[in-house]
Every structure is written in C-alpha cells, then in structure tokens.
Structure 1
C-alpha cells in the first residue's frame, strides 16, 4: 500500500529529471488520478471484506471493485446488462456498504468493464476461465448442457444483437469453448465456422481439452475502451511497477525483474515480451541502466 502511495511522487521526480521524456501535463494528470484510484480500490476492497465479516454475510463469489473516477473517463457509457440474480445481490450489497462509508457520494456500476472468472466443467477437467463480463454472461447461459441461439441470447441478456454476435464469436475462436449444436461439430480441437444464423443452436464444447486449468480467452473484437488507450494504460502500469521496484531494490537481475512483473501485476496479465519491451524502453529513457561488468544486471538511475 505504501509503495502505491509513493508512486505519484516517484513519477514527479522522474519527470523532473527527464523533462524531455515527460508525456505532457494532461497525461501526467490522468496517470496521477489512475494511481489515486488504485489506492482507493485496494483500501475499499479491504473494507468491503471487513463489512462482509462484520455482518456475518457469506459471499457467493469473490467480488473485487475496480475504481474509475468519472471525470477522467467521460467517454465510458454505462451499459445495462441483465445480470444474474446472485450478482445483482452482490452489487447491491456493495452499494449498501459504500453508502455507509461515503454517505455523500454516489456510485454507478459499469458491468461491461473489468473481468470475470468462470468455472467451466469440460469432460477432461474443470477450468477457471477469465473473460470479459459480456462473454461471461453469454457462457453462463450454456450451463448444464443448455443450448441457445443468438436470438435467444439477445432476449435473455438484453444486449444488442451486434454485441451478442461479437461476444459469442469470440468464444468460438482459437480455443472453441462454444460450438454449433448441429451433429458433427463438437470435436476435440474443432475450428468453427463463424457464419452463425440467428436461430442456429449453440452449445458448450464439453470435449475441449485446454492445456491449462487457469487461462484467459481473447477479448471481444469490439471493446468498450479503445485499443490504443488500453495499450497505453498497460504500458504505464508495467513502467510504474518496474520503477517502484527498482527504486526500492536499486540493483536486480534482469530475469528477476521480468518474473516479478509477470507474476505480480494484477490489473491484467502481461507477457514476458511486454515486460522486456518496457525494461528496454526505461533503459533508453535513462531510468535504468545495465551494469557494465554484468549485462544481465539492471541498476536504477537515481
């Protein structure tokens, strides 16, 4: 927690040392508020857990809040989704909790943001699959062997047909979690054809054999937040983690930095390639440097 609180000051110092490398006032201000939101998010989730324990409530699932300040994300439209009853109850519980700690403020839920981990039972194994909330809502409709068409999904979830189609197709790509229900389409590793009729029945590909128990599926083709903005935010989070880490440790092995970043950044799952790019970029901007006598060791430039 203390590291995150210090992060704003660290960035200010770095920008002062390398003014030519600064991103501009608007971006710095936005980043500053993102870091503040993250501090609030951590503290709020701790308090919410205490609220559950105090009132003797038994959570049906793990609910963690992602905080966004609306003035800095004005382009995000709140999308209404027909959420499952248990999730609606969980959100209402959080709303009651928030009213207790912040009686003068209001909150809005943006159910189309964030991520959801769904437990799926295939024939070979049970998997925990992390995905976009809209994807999760669609996948949940295929529980217990249910079959659904795009038109039925549209009515149940109350999404536009375009959104239903985009999210459903994303669950049929690469790793086909959903397949057409017509005879012969459910095969191990079968790659689906994406020409789906609105009334064509789909089902869970129960014979799928994922390599991992815990994994993520690709996001829908069309996302709420633009790809450019998302990529920028991810780069900033990786940079933030590395700079705070190196400011504390001063000297570390390249591989240790890589492993710590991959394993400890929780807002998304960075690849080793992503982290390597950010390390090299921080070196080029003179935040870090390689040790002269050992090129595999990275040093922080104070």
Structure 2
C-alpha cells in the first residue's frame, strides 16, 4: 500500500548500531511519471516521489484532508501540506472541495479532491515545484521531531524499566504515527538520553538499556 511504500523509502538506512555510516535514499530528489485520467484526456505527469504518493491517495474519487493523507502514508503533516499545495498550483491537479477557498495555504482538516474536470493543454507536463520552507521552520520541525522521539523513548522506559536496545528503537518507531523516524535517528536520540543520564546501559547485559529513576 502507499503507506508501506513511503516507509520503505524513509527507512532505508544502515541497521548497524555500531557504525556511523548511513545509507539513505534521498527520495525528495527522485521523480516518477504517472498516467492520470482526466475527464477528457489522459496525461503523463512528472512528479516528485512524495507528490506522487499524495496524489495517488486521491484515487477513485476520494475526498480527504491533509490529516487523513498523513495518517494513511505515515508522512509528516507538514510534508503532506507542502506536497498537496504544490499539486494545487498551476496546473491544478488537486482542488479544495469547498469552492472559492484560496490555494495559498492548506489547513489540516480542509478536504481536497482530484481535479478530474481539469483539461491540460499538453498530454505530458510536470507538476508544480514543491514550496521551500524557511530554515527557521525546518529547524523547528527538526527540534519537534527530536523531542517526540525522546519523549516516547522515556515513556517506554518508565514503563518497562529495562529493554533490549534494538527493542527500544523499534518500539519508538512503532509508537510515533505523525511521522516516521529512521532507526538511525532514534538511535541518535537514545544515545543522547544516555548522555543526559535519563538512560544507561545495563551493567550485566550491554545490549540492554535501563531507565534511570
């Protein structure tokens, strides 16, 4: 399904906890071509991979909000909004269900739909470019994600008291639903929690982690 496709893209990293090497597919740089059936013709559209996943979420006449798409794909809500907004620009592949609403911003709960009545001038075209976030917004998003990972890790350890290192990493990944952290990112946050003395390696089993009360 679409969510599984997105998780496969974003989780392609090195599982070796002792290595600093990281293998990552930069999916934001990739493009795909999708044949899209409009009311009067079929067009081949070139899109970024994330744009394609968002667009495919609206197959079969579905009407959904950015929040719905984020839940289906496991994609961060900001990324869904960014990709959806680009698909609402010229050429307008997605439109808001409520007519007359502007396309400059998209609220989490605003419904969108595939613009089936759109008549492209060409049978092959590119979707609009993704809007670029200011660096301050990206920094804030990075901080929010780090805090979410650490918060989930601490909450799990408070309950379990002791966990296998890899079990903790996998549990944190499964707990977070509004974005999908890589195992590398979670390991980084767990190591940071050890540095801050919230967690520590088990004295008898170095593959386990203890919660520090």
Structure 2 residue runs of 5 or longer lacking an equivalent are 13-21, 134-213
Question: Which residue number in structure 2 is paired with residue 295 of structure 1?
Answer: none
Larger radius of gyration: 1
RMSD of Structure 2 on Structure 1 (CA) = 3.4
SS in 1 for 2:53: helix
Question: Secondary structure of 1:137's match?
Answer: helix
Structure with greater helix percent: 1
Structure 2 residue 81 is the aligned partner of structure 1 residue 171: no
Task: Tell me how far 1:192 sits from its aligned partner.
Answer: 4.6
| Offset, 1:157 | 1.8
In structure 1, the residue matched to 2:38 is 122
Q: Which residue is 2:5 aligned to?
A: 84
Match of 1:203 in 2: 113
Alignment of 1:154 with 2:75, yes or no, is no
Structure 1 unmatched runs, 5+: 1-80, 93-105, 186-190, 224-302
CA distance in 1, matches of 2:130, 2:36: 19
Is the alpha carbon distance of 1:196 and 1:221 closer, same or farther for their aligned partners in structure 2, counting shifts above 3 Å?
A: closer
The residue aligned with 2:104 is 194
TM-score (norm 1): 0.36
Q: CA–CA distance in 2 between the matches of 1:172 and 1:192? A: 10
Q: CA distance change for structure 1 residues 209 and 114 in 2, over 3 Å: closer, same or farther?
A: same
Runs of at least 4 residues off by over 3 Å = 81-85
What does residue range 1-302 of structure 1 map to in structure 2 within 5 Å? 82-84=3-5, 108-182=24-98, 184=99, 192-222=102-132
Distance 1:83 1:219, change over 3 A: farther
TM-score, normalised by the number of residues in structure 2: 0.50
CA deviation string 1:28-66 (max 9, x = no partner): xxxxxxxxxxxxxxxxxxxxxxxxxxxxxxxxxxxxxxx
Offset at 1:163? 1.4
